[in-house]
Structure 1
Amino acid sequence: MPRWKSLPSGLPEKDRQLIVQLRRLKDHSGLGLAALAAKTGYSRSSWERYLNGKQPVPRKAVEELARVCGADPTKLLVLHEVAERQPPEPAAGTNAVGAGAGAGAVSAGENEPLGTPMSGAPEPGAGPSDRRLVPLRYALAGAIAAAAIAFTAGLLVAGSDGSGGDEGTKPVTYGPGRTYECDDSGRKDGAAYAGHSTTVEALVGINGSGPDVVEVQCQLKRHGFDPGEIDGLYGPGVKSAVEEFQKVRKLVSDGIVGPDTWAELRR
């Protein structure tokens, strides 16, 4: 299977996380871009733009990709909700409707599924174009967005695999100046464990912290990649080490530890 192009360096981290998960889902399904176009309402060129970070991915496209790949869309939709950016407020005296219609005409057309007319009101859930016409959605979705951010943060920090200690145990605080030991002798069913986390699927990325991050650092060190101090903080040094490890193992080099990277780390 051809390797993916590197995502744009200026792409926001939350958008990057969503696209990486969409890429992995597509790769696992074995479907090509042409097959996705045939099975969904979006063209091959649209999928190429979405999966290479050239254009925001519509929510409906996320749902359709999950459907054709036979996956649960819940986590993907949470990542999409967090990745969404509220458009800037119109300047005083600006005709918001007129400005929105002019500025959004091109992007709305690019995001339209095949066979959908460019004129007229978009269908509910059609993507960024309907957000342009229904700005009140952001006011109503404030609570949902806050919950989504909290949920996604749980995917990127400690304990997301449910392997933590007993209820009532005082949580460990991770911060500068604290370091942890790695137990390189732990193995179960052929997989290596350093004694801090048993997860094999939690998403761990930049600015994360906790035992999952310690586990990543320990496994990187065991494989000969320097993550810096074993402190449970996922900073630029850890991300750089993860990217180098991913390149060597021929994975998507995005600096985010997900199921594929965990599988290689635990070898």
Structure 2
Amino acid sequence: MSRYKPLSDELDPCARQLVEQLRRLKDQGELTMRHLAAKTGYSARSWERYLGGTSLPPREALEALARITGADPVPLIALHEIAADTWDNRRAQPDVEPEPAPHEQEQEPEAEQEPVTLIGPTTPPAAAPAPGRFPHIALTAGVIALAVALSAALLLMLRLDDGVTQAAVAAPPSTAAASPSPSYTCRIARVDGRWSAGINEGRNDEIVYGATGADVAEAQCLLRRAGISPGGIDGMFGPLTLRAVKTFQQRSGLVVDGMLGPRSWKALRG
């Protein structure tokens, strides 16, 4: 479980709820900053700012995180839209602090004159900014109430599902009960004169970008054996694996299309 720095007390409540949900999804998926960078296209430093509450993540980053963790992106997007409005309003609104009443200067005269002096010059400045701030206060209160309601609904849904939603979204019905994060181990060996990683029983089925499963893990192991890193052996045909496949195809004199077909499999197995 990751340990995060406490969020700033000055952080808007809507943005705070969003950051807490992002942290929860990252921890549930056991993702590191490097995993997030590799699988979402946003750098590790960007994710540090998003999860630290110092920068509001773009909507595309939320959708990418929901996709790789199997979460429903709709609640995140709804919370993001509210947080974006309050985030902009908070930055646009100037920090106006009323000038301190000159108590020290007015305590020197006689005590009977203090009420007259304080009420006269102090009341107008305090009443002047109030009409302009009422709309902001009402808007902020309404947004906070809506954010709290959305957050409560999201937390209730996550507790009731207890991980079932992730499996249902990430896998088809026939495999909904399977483990969402299988573990693969490369066992490189020569079998009948061909290289094998011992994962997909020697299949040479065509796989393309976005595919998942044992065939992808087999290809990742063989790419690593060929001296080209595909990232982790996670069974996910992502950007790093795509780059490794294209590098191997170019090195082997094959058509560089990023797809693993019969000719690419034959070259991988040697």
Give the TM-score taking structure 1 as reference length: 0.35
Report the structure, 1 or 2, having the larger helix content.
2
Which one has the largest radius of gyration? 2
Give the TM-score taking structure 2 as reference length: 0.35
